Amino acid sequence: MDLSADHIKSLHKYELRILQSIEYLMSRYSWVPEEELVHNSRLSANEVHFRLSKLMEKGMVKYSQVPYPGYCLIFNGYDTLAISHLVKKGIISSLGSCIGEGKESRVYEALGTGPVILKLHRIGQRSFQTVRRGRNYLPEKQHCPWVLASHFSAEQEYLALCTLQNHVRVPTPLLMNRNVIAMTYIAGDRLSDCTLENPREVLDEIIAQVRAAYSRGYIHGDLSEYNVMFDGEEIWIIDWPQWVSPHHENASEILDHDLETITKFFHRRYRISSDMNEVRSLVTGC
């Protein structure tokens, strides 16, 4: 079930309280027992049971009898908690449509004092263990439910955007809560969807932005034609949750992969050749 603005708007205050209780208790339980929700939410057993049925109808909560009866948040519920907080803080006033979806995120239009983009990080259950092994920002030993792990992915990207916003062309972050980042709207298209009149200049500018990020301790980690935006005049680099430091043990290989991916795109589409040693030297200064 897709995230529904109507479901969020119609959420009863007790339903919001129960979502918050499930979130809190999921740090201790894989499936939260109903009696624990009664105790934590300070609502009657009948009220909790009724509100849980409504939350399941809205696709925000899941119930299981194995290994024991209990409830857990699913992404729509976790997204709802985050979006409700953004509304409370005055960052957004309405939620628009989904305008993009990747392996680990969804992007929505929203309205605040102007157009806003909401990026909802969603690390799926199947990829969670792979992500956990490959990314340093997930806790290694403590219990970390896979839905809530998306918070760490959002936090990683938010840190990059906050650090780079005055030095690299990235979206300006407005606020992060849980797995959702609110950021400024960028007009334009992904590089993959553009036909460039001056491809060499655009490639040079991308390399300059990669260099600026590198000098401030950030390697993108997933750079491609799909996460560079072009508005007809300037480029913007988006999607930063996989960044690594230049001091990371695999930094050299990750940087090389970023540079090879973007230069191969320009060679494939525009027949522009690049010397990888020169490009790498431009970025690292070595």
**Mean per-residue pLDDT, 18-46:** 97
Q: How confident is the model at residue 136 (pLDDT cuts 50, 70, 90)?
A: low
Task: Report pTM.
Answer: 0.90
> How sure is the predictor about 142, in pLDDT bands with cuts at 50, 70 and 90?
low
Mean predicted confidence (pLDDT) in 56-65: 96
Percentage of the chain lying above the pLDDT 70 cut = 93
Beta bridge pairs of residue 230 = 189, 235
Mean pLDDT of 108-115: 95
Which residues are CB-contacts of 263 (< 8 A; sequence separation ≥ 6)?
Answer: 203, 272, 274, 276, 279
Decide if 222 is catalytic.
yes
| Phi and psi torsions of 69, nearest 5° | -65, 130
Residues 87-97: tens digit of each pLDDT: 999 999 999 99
Q: Are strands 235-237 and 228-230 parallel, antiparallel or unpaired?
A: antiparallel
Taking a C-beta distance cutoff of 8 angstroms, is the pair 177, 82 a contact?
yes
Going edge to edge, which strands form the sheet with 235-237? 189-190, 228-230, 235-237
Q: Within a 10 A sphere around the Cβ of 4, how many other Cβ atoms? A: 15
Burial class (CB in 10 A: 0-12, 13-18, 19+), 33: middle
Cβ–Cβ under 8 Å, residues 254 and 244: yes
Fold of 104-184: Phosphorylase Kinase; domain 1 (3.30.200)
pLDDT of residue 151: 94
The catalytic position among 79, 189, 193, 222 is 222
The one-letter amino acid code at 166 reads N
For residues 33 and 36, what is the distance between their CA atoms, to the nearest angstrom? 5
Write down the pLDDT at residue 103: 84
Domain locations along the chain: 5-73, 104-184, 189-284
What pLDDT is attached to residue 140?
Answer: 53
* CATH superfamily name and code, 189-284: Transferase(Phosphotransferase) domain 1 (1.10.510.10)
Give the span between the Cα atoms of 117 and 108, in whole angstroms: 6
Beta-ladder partners of 228: 237
Give residue 146's pLDDT: 75
Look up residue 256 and give its two tokens: 């090389």
154 CB neighbour count, 10 Å cutoff: 23
In angstroms, rounded to a whole number, what is the distance separating the alpha carbons of residues 29 and 37? Answer: 11
Backbone angles phi, psi at 121, to 5 degrees: -75, 130
- Return the beta strands (E) in 8-128 as ranges: 61-64, 70-73, 94-101, 105-111, 115-121
- Architecture of the domain delimited by 5-73: Orthogonal Bundle (1.10)
CB 177 within 8 A of CB 85: yes
Give the tens place of pLDDT for each residue, 186-228.
Answer: 999 999 999 999 999 999 999 999 999 999 999 999 999 999 9
Q: Which band of pLDDT confidence, cut at 50, 70 and 90, is reported for residue 128?
A: very low
What pLDDT does residue 143 have?
Answer: 52
Give me the torsion for CA of 71, 177, 98, 130, rounded to 10°.
-70
Assess contact for 54 and 15: CB atoms under 8 A.
yes
Residue 253 pLDDT more than 60?
yes
